[in-house]
Amino acid sequence: MLEIKKLQAGIEDKPILKGIDLSVNAGEVHAIMGPNGSGKSTLASVLAGREGFDVTGGEVLYNGNDLLDLAPEERARDGVFLAFQYPVEIPGVNSAYFLRSAVNAVRTHCGEEELDAMNFLKAVKAKMKELGLNEDFLKRPVNTGFSGGEKKRNEILQMAMLNPRLAILDETDSGLDIDALRIVADGVNRLKRDDNAQLVITHYQRLLEYIVPDFVHVLHDGRIIKTGDKSLALELEEKGYDWLVKEAA
């Protein structure tokens, strides 16, 4: 589904990703861990199409097509979803209105009928209930004044409504209390199917107890220096990154 080959990217002549190889098949969950500043969010941003990052080498294929050639909205409509590490506040834009526009943009692209206000509300309220989100959320401006945890849950709500094929979750667990973590992880697991995949960026093994990864990758200084299974996360929890960095050097 996703094939990242020798990807190099940077910002203003500063190299950040220094040759990433990673392939993700449908039905898989991949975790990406790594110290602060190693390039995890940069990878997520490049996959989602944020402007300002220059891809200086390599390629990314998504279902066989060049992903990097597409505008962010085209990627989204094709099923790529990024849950932001820092969701953006958008004052004045009503959450329900925003989300329905997004859902319908994707549906239209897929040749499905648009959801009318009634059906949208029905669908979104059901998902909100699952995520323990209060309904008055919908009346508030997007992310504005939301607590850290509410913002993260809102990302998962959007994910649930957009139903992506490739979901990239950038530290969706940070800032969540223990109950919220479980709710969010349940939400993510519920969206898991054989024909989609998840790329989960996290610092904590705790999340991976709930969202069990098939592969764990360690990113360091713009390169994947180790790939293992879920036990690698446990090992990292115990020993930190130093030993790996030394091993890789």
Ligand X SMILES: Nc1ncnc2c1ncn2[C@@H]1O[C@H](COP(=O)(O)OP(=O)(O)OP(=O)(O)O)[C@@H](O)[C@H]1O
**Residues lying near another protein in the complex (CB under 8 A):** 48-51, 71-73, 75-77, 81-82, 84, 87-94, 98, 101-102, 105-106, 109, 141, 158, 162
As measured in angstroms, the least distance from the Cβ of 169 to ligand X is 12
Beta bridge partners of 168: 82, 199
42 binds, among ligand X, Mg ion, another protein, none (CB under 5 to 8 A by kind): ligand X
As measured in angstroms, the least distance from the Cβ of 141 to ligand X is 25
As measured in angstroms, the least distance from the Cβ of 210 to ligand X is 20
Report the largest interatomic distance among the alpha carbons of the chain, rounded to a whole angstrom.
58
Tokens of 59: 């390629």
Q: What are the helix (H) ranges across the chain?
A: 40-48, 72-77, 95-109, 117-130, 148-162, 178-190, 205-210, 230-239, 242-248
d(C-alpha 13, C-alpha 15), whole Å: 6
Encoded one letter per residue, x for contact with ligand X by CB under 6 A and - for no contact, window 160-199 reads ----------------------------------------
Encoded one letter per residue, x for contact with ligand X by CB under 6 A and - for no contact, window 73-112 reads ------------x---------------------------
d(C-alpha 197, C-alpha 165), whole Å: 6
